[in-house]
A and B are shown apart, each in its own frame.
With several copies, the nearest count.
Chain A
Amino acid sequence: MKFTIMINEGPYQHQSADSALQYCRAILAQGHEIFRVFFYHDGVNNGSSLSVPPGDDRLIQKEWSELSKEHDLDLVICIAAAQRRGLMDADEAKRQGFDSNNMIEGFRISGLGQLIEGGIESDRTVVFGD
């Protein structure tokens, strides 16, 4: 069965990013397919490359990044939400004239249509938020 997941909150502040991560792992463990994970609102901050939590804490952004690599996941960050919150990849940073960028490997930036497409193409759409 094919799933699309939407995540509305950033890492740490709310549990939704943790819950969604565990849920995605369980989907994959059962042999189902994840069509797309769409990060919206503060959820875009799950794609930050600059987090350095205390050594005994989880690094949620890296866990997403590694899960993406391992299972070739399509992790999509909403561009409009990302621009509001200051999350950008190298291309977007260049386009905007910034020296720095802060998007971790394994994510890509795209538009809201990707969320609707996910809803259409998937058998189940599940939302995690506040």
Chain B
Amino acid sequence: MAMLHIVNKSPFEKVSFRSCLNHVSKGDSVLMIEDAAVGALEGTSFSDKLKTAMGDVSVYVLGGDLAARGLSEDRMIDGIKSVDYAGFVDLTVENETTQSWL
């Protein structure tokens, strides 16, 4: 069963994002919302960790949360897809289960 992992904390502030990536299964999806959106950027101290994980999982970011923090989508790591809340719902439907990394 594929799982949607929802992360909402900055990878620079809390360990939850890393913990999530340490516990995903191949074929799962990871969605960054709220403060976690800042993790989508290329060229950060976290981006290599995320790019490695992207070999196994699909990664998404809630576009509204990225924009709120002044970050434009063209600075994202290649392969990350931006979604809106409708897309968030779609991801929940497409994956059989969800886990929030609080």
Contacts and interface: CB of A to CB of B under 8 A. Distances in A.
A80 interface: no
Contacts of A1: 93
B34 A129 contact: no
Of B33, B86, B92, the most chain A CB neighbours within 10 A belong to B92
Interface in B40-83: none
Contact of A30 (B8, B89, B98, B102): B89
Contact of A127 (B84, B85, B102): B102
Of A1, A32, A126, the most chain B CB neighbours within 10 A belong to A126
A124 B94 CA distance: 11
Of B8, B84, B89, B100, the most chain A CB neighbours within 10 A belong to B89
A15 B86 CA distance: 18
Interface stretch (A21-29, A46-54, A85-93): A21-29
Interface residues of B, number: 16
A16 B92 contact: no
B47 to A, nearest CB: 23
Interface in A51-88: none
A26 B102 contact: no
Contacts of A23: 85, 88-89
A27 B33 contact: no
A8 B102 CA distance: 10
Given A19-B8, A126-B92, A127-B102, A29 B86 contact: yes
Contacts of A26: 84-86, 88-89
A101 interface: no
A125 B100 CA distance: 10
Interface of B: 6, 8, 33-35, 84-86, 88-89, 92-93, 97-98, 100, 102
13 contacts: A15-B35, A23-B88, A26-B85, A26-B89, A27-B89, A32-B89, A124-B93, A124-B97, A124-B98, A126-B92, A126-B98, A127-B6, A129-B8
